[in-house]
Amino acid sequence: MNYKIKKALISLSDKSGLENILRTLKKYKIKILSSGGTYKEIRKLGFSCIEISKYTKFSEMLDGRVKTLHPKIHAGILSKRSNKKHIREMRKKNFDKIDLVIVNFYPFQNTIKTSKNFKKIIENIDIGGPTMVRASAKNFNDVSVITDKKDYVKLINELNKNNGSTSLKFRELMANKAFGLTAYYDSMISNWFNQKLDINFPETKTIFGRKIAQLRYGENPHQESSIYVSDLFEEELGLKKIKGKALSYNNYNDIFTGLEILSTFKKPGTVIIKHANPSGASINQSKLKSFQEAYMSDPISAFGGIVGCNFKVDKKIAKEMSKVFFEVILAKKFDKEALKILSTKKNLILIDISKFKIKKNCSVRNFNNSFIVQERNKKIFDMPKLKFVTKLKPSKKQLKYAKFAFNICKFVKSNAIVITNNFSTIGVGAGQPSRVDSCKIAVQKVKQFQPKKIKNSIAASDAFFPFPDGVKKLINAGVKLIIQPGGSIRDFENIKIADKAKISMIFTGTRHFNH
């Protein structure tokens, strides 16, 4: 059912784009109510407007905290037009109907981004705006509510199409957006309090998000997908796409894995990701060598993957990268020559990550009507808790290499085995139901691509070895140091085998499952 709009209430923090709306309301002789800065702006633009305090005959009070919170306003919004009792009560009070509400909220998010003044932040928690929006959205059968200035054009088109009226379909769609906004707004405030009070696991948990892009497709082409930003202080991800096609769900899944691994590198490093697993990773003072070493870890799996670098890509590196088919390259900027070279690759996506930061302390995974939240895995191991359980102890240099291996291991899907030489992976065994199968795959990768590097290599396991078969497989291949959490009832057997083979073994006491 279409309803003619006779009276509109406008209350805006962001007053941009207002003139076109006012011109359309005037065209259809719609009376306007407003207050404060919005009232002044409407008058300044040359349009007639009734001030809310004069309309309600109740002056603003409490420094403007109470102005639209008045029965005449909310009865006008909430009254059912077809309800005889409501009609009688409105007539008795001499209250008019309000048919259109155009509201946006106090800029809470912008305030917390630009100010640390607690009082100022609290005063920018909007009360009257969300209250009017919720009331209007509840009564969408009779009332139109606009909360997004992007919808001004839709409202203008709707009024023109229906000669000053709005359709039920339009009102319902706008109500849906309105409730989404109030939920988003309240969720931001709730999460700000949680962050301020250092509460990671509150009794009620809300997750807010603003859509920033429709993705090319989901995990598979028949699935739709979108990406949202959920951050109190940022409205973008901090990832600047320089060239390339639209990103997919899988692209982002790999990108996030790459970014998390890169965040642990304190020296120039490269990681190559395929299906959310690192196929290769390397840190090296030579940036070119770090890419080459990461790629040589598994050049077959690297095909079609993504490359992440925590440095600026130059001409030499770009030439090497251009020899391989990659979907995405992440870097802290690309120089002009590098961009020329990489731009010749038609479908290659280039992303500048120089402004990206990992800030969230928790990760979320959902299924059906539930979700689980956990702290991010930021630990590698506790140095004082390390146990050097074999007769042969590792050198300080080997311990540094072992730390690198164990760090990469925590990002590989469990069961995970990572074999490294120096500060580069040479074999990765990921996601197998049995640990010995992961050992076999990791060893196979080394023998296939870099067999000479297996000698004196280091193997890291994300969890303990339940049986000695995996340890034997690694030792027979040429591994000279194994770093693992320990904790198996057969630890003594693994230690005995390591001693017999004259290799070192370290127990960290820290498990790194990644499912």
Q: At 465, list the tokens.
A: 């070895």
What string of DSSP letters covers 315-331? HHHHHHHTTS--SEEEE
Q: Tokens 């090296």 belong to which residue?
A: 284
Q: Tokens 């997919």 belong to which residue?
A: 248
Answer for the pair 38, 16: CB distance below 8 angstroms, yes or no.
no
Q: At 328, list the tokens.
A: 């995405």
Rounded to whole angstroms, how far apart are CA atoms 424 and 407? Answer: 12
Question: Which candidate in 26, 40, 74, 138 is catalytic?
Answer: 138
What's the DSSP call for residue 158?
A: H
* 138 is annotated as an active-site residue: yes
Question: Which candidate in 15, 154, 241, 275 is catalytic?
Answer: 275
What's the DSSP call for residue 96?
A: P
H-type alpha helices, 274-416: 287-296, 299-302, 315-321, 336-342, 396-409
- In sign, the C-alpha dihedral spanning 181, 183, 187, 190 is positive
β-pairing, 504-507 vs 387-388, is antiparallel
What string of DSSP letters covers 464-479? --SSTHHHHHHHHHTE
Label residues 13-33 b or e (16+ Cβ within 10 Å = b): bebeebeebbebbeebebbbb
Answer for the pair 27, 39: CB distance below 8 angstroms, yes or no.
no
Answer for the pair 512, 489: CB distance below 8 angstroms, yes or no.
no
Which residues are annotated as catalytic? 138, 275
